[in-house]
Structure 1
Amino acid sequence: MDFGASFAKYVLFIFNMLVLACGILVIVFGSLLTADVVDLKNLADSFQISGIPICIIVIGCIISIIAFIGCCGAIRENTCLTIIYAVVMLVLFVLQIIIVLYIWLEQESFLNTMNSIVNKAWTTRHENGRLMDVLQMEFNCCGQFGSQDYFGEAVPNSCCGRSATSCSMISVLIKPGCSQAFKDFWTTHISIAKYAGMVVAGVELIAIIFACCIANQSRNERRRAPYY
């Protein structure tokens, strides 16, 4: 290989290492997000709340596997493996862009669903108080719209945290309602998912370009080999 091809080879290897790192970060992010909402599975009939975290983890796993294959293809200068890597990465790149655009366009609709989730937990709290308790402990909130929602009834201990043995209205006056707290939580994480997806897609695109360059250079060298 000439200097340009060698440069592309090592750049592709480095970029795949970056993609691999990004894939691992995506998996970690999805895992943390899943851990935050795992106790809310009883709300699945209202909204598949664990769907997005699981998709994020799956995407992270795919990115990591493909990046590892790309590293092997680049360092071994394997044309077939590099072409397969480039094609798969291109498909993954397109799908990732579609997902990011979907999240971007449907963000408002998605966030509006948060109110129905909290409303379901609130209206069913007398039959199943666990759902509202989970929301109040996980998101450090109290009541549907604020602690005043408990006016005339006992404030649950979950409003004061996981380890609280008692809770009074005065101690939770400044706490936000779970409707707003839950919505803010998803607003933040959706933004992270969007921009992280864009960054990863940009790195993938660069890797695809260099993979195509290396595959083309390797193929040309094989064609010219009999004449050397």
Structure 2
Amino acid sequence: MCGYRKLYLLLATIVTAAIGFGMIIFGKMKMNEVVFLDAFLSDHIHVGRTFIGLGVLLFIIAFVGMAGVTMHISLFLLIYACLMLTLVVTQIVVGVTIFTRMATIRNSLSRTLEEKFRTYDQHKAEIDKLQSVILCCGMSGPKVWKIKDLPPSCCGMEKGSCSVKSAYSSSCSEKAGNIVEGGLYFVSIICFILIFIELKCVALACCLSDFSALLSLCAGLGGGPKEKPQTASSSEHTTSREILLRE
């Protein structure tokens, strides 16, 4: 039974390490894809950075657990279990924060977009990049945008004129909000799915740990009081006294 647990935990640590590495790569890709949103969401949860951070932690913790299983070191297994529990708590906090702050994040994004669209000339590069990437035009659509001439980015061009008929019909506020919301919900769902795997790994790591050996090691390191062994002369003296008393 113990052999099956070791094999399962070893496979679980390998899988979690692979997931962590995959999250790092995915987070890097996300950072490159949504870099245009940094100017509008600089103070809030970033999907790419969150994935990279969780991925790095998961990869390192899985490596500690793998070392504990393969080298049969109970201390490593307990450290692995404690770190994994810490990661579980972190993921719960991240997931709950996303769900509770989603409306606040969307409102903040809308306010930032509204301010930058109102002062388009000062933020032309950021807005043109946003409109070209997510295929939108204006804060609430091209028909509502109070501007003399629509920028070429509303038609996916770098130069030229763009009419209301040929411009993207989607509003940038709605599209950007949906992208941010979808990404953050995806992060929270991944966090909660990983929690079940991680808790199973914690339980197995605790079952495979040798608590008695660790307690003995801690007691030895603590340097508790030791009994002073009796010398040969003292033991002979005690024996002679006992003989005299009997006589």
Aligned residue number for residue 231 of structure 2: none
CA distance in 2: counterparts of 1:126 and 1:153, whole angstroms: 12
Q: C-alpha displacement at 1:35, in angstroms?
A: 1.5
Aligned residue among 30, 34, 39 for 1:37? 34
Q: Kindly, what percent of the aligned residue pairs are identical?
A: 25
Question: What is the one-letter code of the residue matched to 2:210?
Answer: N
Aligned residue number for residue 92 of structure 2: 97
CA distance in 1: counterparts of 2:159 and 2:72, whole angstroms: 61
Asked if 1 retains the 8 angstrom alpha-carbon contact of 2:40 and 2:113, the reply is no
Q: C-alpha displacement at 1:49, in angstroms?
A: 4.9
Aligned residue number for residue 9 of structure 1: 6
Asked if 2 retains the 8 angstrom alpha-carbon contact of 1:111 and 1:183, the reply is yes
Aligned residue number for residue 71 of structure 1: 66
Aligned residue number for residue 145 of structure 1: 140
Q: C-alpha displacement at 1:165, in angstroms?
A: 5.2
Aligned residue among 114, 121, 129 for 1:126? 121
Question: What is the one-letter code of the residue matched to 1:54?
Answer: R
1:193 aligns with 2:156: no
Q: C-alpha displacement at 1:51, in angstroms?
A: 4.1
Q: What do the CA deviations read for 1:160-208 (whole angstroms, capped 9, x no partner)?
A: 22667553322125x2110000011112111111100111121111111
CA distance in 2: counterparts of 1:78 and 1:29, whole angstroms: 33
CA distance in 2: counterparts of 1:98 and 1:187, whole angstroms: 17
Aligned residue number for residue 159 of structure 1: 154
CA distance in 2: counterparts of 1:115 and 1:104, whole angstroms: 18
**Structure 2: runs of 5+ lacking an equivalent:** 218-247
Question: What is the one-letter code of the residue matched to 1:65?
Answer: I
**Structure 1: runs of 5+ lacking an equivalent:** 224-228
Aligned residue number for residue 21 of structure 1: 18
CA distance in 2: counterparts of 1:122 and 1:61, whole angstroms: 37
Question: What is the one-letter code of the residue matched to 1:34?
Answer: M
Q: CA 1:79/1:218 → structure 2, altered by over 3 Å: closer, same or farther?
A: farther
Q: How many residues were matched structurally? A: 216
CA distance in 1: counterparts of 2:99 and 2:6, whole angstroms: 35
Give the TM-score normalised by the residue count of structure 2.
0.78
* CA RMSD, 1 decimal: 2.6
Q: CA 1:164/1:26 → structure 2, altered by over 3 Å: closer, same or farther?
A: farther
**Larger CA Rg, structure 1 vs 2:** 2
